[in-house]
């Protein structure tokens, strides 16, 4: 018994900037919390602050790079 051929499906239209924006907001909230609690952080854990800064920076890069990629691909 053979299977019927699969139909090609069209890709879904999505807005990739929404999850990137949510990620940036989450990193920003984490950064604010860490800055408020900075005095309570052990010295070995201050790198968490820079991780949040890097997350925000990477997210901002992606947020503004996504439209460029979409235009290049003709999406």
Q: Is residue 3 part of a domain?
A: no
Q: Is residue 43 part of a domain?
A: yes
List, for residues 11-41, the tens digit of each pLDDT value: 788 888 999 999 999 999 999 999 999 888 8
The set of residues, in sequence order, having a beta carbon less than 8 Å from that of 66 and lying 6+ positions away, is: 16, 17, 20
Q: Is residue 1 part of a domain?
A: no
Q: For residue 1, what pLDDT band results from cuts at 50, 70 and 90?
A: low
Number of domains in the chain: 1
pTM over 0.85: no
What is the Cα–Cα distance from 55 to 62, expressed in whole angstroms? 10
Q: Is residue 38 part of a domain?
A: yes
- The parent domain of residue 52 ranges over 17-73
Q: Is residue 6 part of a domain?
A: no
Q: Is residue 36 part of a domain?
A: yes
């Amino acid at each position: 018994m053979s299977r019927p051929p699969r139909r090609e499906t069209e890709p879904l239209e999505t807005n990739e900037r929404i999850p990137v924006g949510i990620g940036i907001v989450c990193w920003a909230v984490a950064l604010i919390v860490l800055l408020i609690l900075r005095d309570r952080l052990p010295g070995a854990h201050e790198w968490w602050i820079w991780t949040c800064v890097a997350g925000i920076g990477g997210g901002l890069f992606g947020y503004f790079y996504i439209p460029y990629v979409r235009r290049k691909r003709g999406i």
